[in-house]
Amino acid sequence: MENIYNKTIEELEKYLLNQDVKAFHAKQIFEWLYQKQVNDFHLMSNLSKNLISVIKNDFFIGNLKLKKKEEDIDVNKYLFELSDNHLIEAVLMKHNYGNSLCVSSQIGCNMGCSFCESGRLKKVRDLLPGEMIEQILLVEQDINERISSVVIMGIGEPFDNYDNVMKFIRIINHPFGLAIGARHITISTCGLVPGINKFALEPFQVNLALSLHAPNDDLRLKLMPIASVYKLKDIMQAIDEYIKKTNRRVTIEYLLLEDINDTEECAFELINLIKGKNVYVNLIPYNVTSNKNYKKSKKMQTDKFYDILIKNKINVTTRREFGTKITAACGQLRASEVEK
């Protein structure tokens, strides 16, 4: 049996036709699953008993369980348990323009970024589309509100799980699915060049974010092992090609670490790296973790870094801080639970 949340509407139509059932029932099933969010086939009142019996032989409706929840001002951190007892997490951020959910795409991560809790526990496996979708559904049910935007920036590297992530996007973007607009979906990569190149050919207008965090290869290598595989020259070339093909702006994510990448020299290096490109920089305050090597940049230094970029006509924002009173760093809640 398979989790029905793994199926696109086109796959469900094909399945029904193979069962000698009219394809239009796929639309009805999607509406029950995503618009009305029922978790029992028998509640799908416009389906015949015979059709429900057929579907139940091959599918079940979800199996993700909420294990733990932490709350702070305008942010909830969720720890979920999968059917194989592994743990993943998602973070809800409440903005004045709607609810944004940061979802995980893998159990653990092999990218090994030294500042990130997610990479401290290596990748166990990829998440299936349904396991990503259920993170959204369970959070919506918990808060009794709609999730209006999704960021694939939780545990895992999305382009290391490319096919499942693309299928997840197609399902949540579909008008009979969760109907989350493509421009309200962001996928974040640490710089997997083949993934960026492939993503540039996708038909939807989903946002791309690059986790840069350093303006030169030497510093980036100290922070992010992936820098030994993909140099900044190759990554920025892939970004240029992506912008050329899609005509879409790219977000440059830059985590500010005290006395490491927050210096004036780093700011000017960053300017030289991205000036003239259709990008904007999102400066991210560091959520302190068990890693004693890194500290959050002081406000004065953050402001100075920001001002240098502004004066050099770089589009830049500083991300609002969330979850300072909870284990809000990516992978932190999962790591603390696993290590218990």
How is residue 289 annotated by DSSP? Answer: -
CA-based angle 332:131:223, to the nearest 5? 35
Residue 102 is a catalytic residue: no
Q: What contacts 53, CB < 8 A, 6 or more positions away? A: none
Q: Which one from 13, 89, 131, 140 is the annotated catalytic residue?
A: 89
Q: Cα–Cα distance between 304 and 299 in angstroms, integer?
A: 8
Residue 116 is a catalytic residue: no
Q: Cα–Cα distance between 63 and 83 in angstroms, integer?
A: 6
For residue 10, the SS3 value is helix
Q: Cα–Cα distance between 217 and 230 in angstroms, integer?
A: 9
Q: Cα–Cα distance between 205 and 200 in angstroms, integer?
A: 10
Dig out the tokens for 6 from the structure: 């793994």
Q: Which one from 264, 269, 330, 339 is the annotated catalytic residue?
A: 330
- Of 270, 269, 193, the C-alpha closest to 229 is 193
Q: What does the buried/exposed string (b/e) look like for 87-125 if buried means 16 or more CB atoms within 10 Å of the residue's CB?
A: bbbbbbbeeeeebbbbbbbbbbbebebebbbbbbbebee
- Helix 162-173 with 129-143: angle, nearest 10 deg: 40
Q: Could you list the active site residues? A: 89, 330
